[in-house]
């Protein structure tokens, strides 16, 4: 199902690219945009996950450089019935994490040093189980491809003025260029929001099943939300098209569960996890002040 959704997304993004090209440069602009879109479709399928990891300066670790964190992910992947993903650490004080990759056989999980230095082992397990759920649900391809396309569309729209758009070039003039500058990023942003919001609840539930305790993830979400509201993520600010990939929006918290947030309201997610814990007859015996593990940085 997600393969079909990804194909539909790529088709929509291609059409958006072509429409943007038409507005900026007329028929010639549309043809150029089509060629760019075809190249991006191919490139993003095979390489978009590498681009996202590179954007956030993620460093790959293994059983030697980060043994506890690597082993945790190995156990969780085994519990989920997934191949072992590549494991990365992002040098950022903001607690956060994301998953990427075109399929479970070519997937990666990444956590920030801020997350590893702030959360307890159980809470980190809940977060990484959530990310593995995205991989198992095959959300990561569509989320990663969307980040690549949305970033490209925003970039082209922002530079639209420099590309022209006059009537002598077959376009619809300066008005079309201005429309392109505002409509294209907005449309790409709406796609990002819809994709992320419909998947977070499902990944939360499956993540709880993988790690075995919904409370671990609920407590983690509370801490991450507090961290993202106080600690800026400068890299994410420079690459806002990747915000929907993180477990909590790295650009700041939204108070309402509305169409224009990239994630569902955090408290709503916590409530759903607490309800799940109640259904499973699991009590919250964890301490929110548990000592974090000394695995914050690769060694």
| pLDDT one digit per residue (tens) for the chain, 299 residues | 556 666 676 677 677 777 777 776 677 777 877 777 777 667 666 766 788 899 999 999 999 999 999 999 999 999 999 999 999 999 999 999 999 998 999 999 999 999 999 999 999 999 999 999 999 998 887 777 776 666 666 666 665 555 554 444 444 556 556 666 666 666 666 666 666 677 899 999 999 999 999 999 999 999 999 999 999 999 998 888 788 889 999 986 544 455 556 789 999 999 999 999 999 998 776 655 555 554 444 33
Sign of the CA dihedral with 239 first, then 243, 245, and 246 last = positive
Question: Does the pTM of the predicted model rise above 0.85?
Answer: no
pLDDT of residue 296: 41
For residue 258, what pLDDT is reported?
53
CA dihedral 149, 152, 157, 160 (to 10 degrees): -140
Nearest C-alpha neighbor of 45 from the set 175, 146, 134:
146
Decide if 140 contacts 88 (C-beta within 8 A).
no
Every domain of the chain and the residues it spans:
54-163+179-279
Return the ∠ at Cα 245 (arms to 40 and 279), rounded to 5°.
140
Token match 């949305």: residue?
150
Q: What are phi and psi of 90, to 5 degrees?
A: -105, 130
- Other beta carbons less than 10 A from residue 176's beta carbon: 22
Backbone angles phi, psi at 28, to 5 degrees: -60, -45
Q: Report how far residue 42's alpha carbon sits from residue 8's, in angstroms, rounded to the nearest whole number.
A: 15
CATH topology of domain 54-163+179-279: Zincin-like (3.30.2010)
Give the residue numbers marked as catalytic. Answer: 131
Q: What is the pLDDT of residue 252?
A: 67
What pLDDT is recorded for position 256? 47
Please give the pLDDT value at position 297.
Answer: 40
């Amino acid at each position: 199902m997600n393969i079909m959704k990804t194909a539909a997304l790529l088709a929509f993004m291609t059409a958006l690219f072509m429409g943007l090209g038409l507005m900026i440069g007329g028929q010639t602009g549309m043809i150029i945009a089509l060629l760019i879109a075809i190249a991006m479709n191919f490139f993003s399928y095979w390489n978009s996950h590498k681009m996202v990891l590179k954007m956030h300066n993620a460093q790959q670790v293994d059983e030697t450089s980060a043994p506890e964190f690597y082993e945790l992910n190995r156990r969780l992947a085994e519990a989920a019935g997934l191949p072992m993903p590549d494991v990365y650490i992002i040098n950022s004080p903001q607690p956060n994490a994301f998953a990427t990759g075109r399929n479970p056989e070519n997937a990666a999980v990444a956590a920030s040093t801020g997350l590893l230095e702030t959360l307890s082992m159980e809470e980190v397990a809940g977060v990484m189980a959530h990310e593995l759920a995205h991989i198992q649900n095959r959300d990561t391809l569509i989320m990663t491809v969307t980040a690549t396309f949305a970033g490209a569309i925003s970039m082209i729209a922002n530079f639209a003025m420099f590309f022209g758009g006059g009537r002598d070039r077959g376009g619809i003039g300066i008005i079309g260029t201005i429309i392109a500058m505002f409509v294209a990023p907005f449309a790409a942003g709406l796609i990002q929001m819809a994709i992320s919001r419909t998947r977070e609840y499902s990944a939360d539930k499956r993540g709880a099943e993988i790690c075995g305790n919904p409370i671990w993830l609920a407590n983690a979400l509370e801490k991450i939300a507090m961290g993202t509201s106080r600690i800026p993520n400068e890299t994410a600010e420079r690459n806002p098209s990747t915000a929907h990939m993180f477990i909590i929006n790295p650009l700041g918290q939204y108070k309402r569960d509305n169409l224009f947030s990239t994630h569902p309201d955090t408290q709503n997610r916590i409530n759903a996890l607490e309800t799940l814990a109640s259904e499973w007859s699991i009590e919250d015996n964890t301490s929110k002040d548990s000592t974090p593990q000394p695995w914050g940085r690769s060694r």
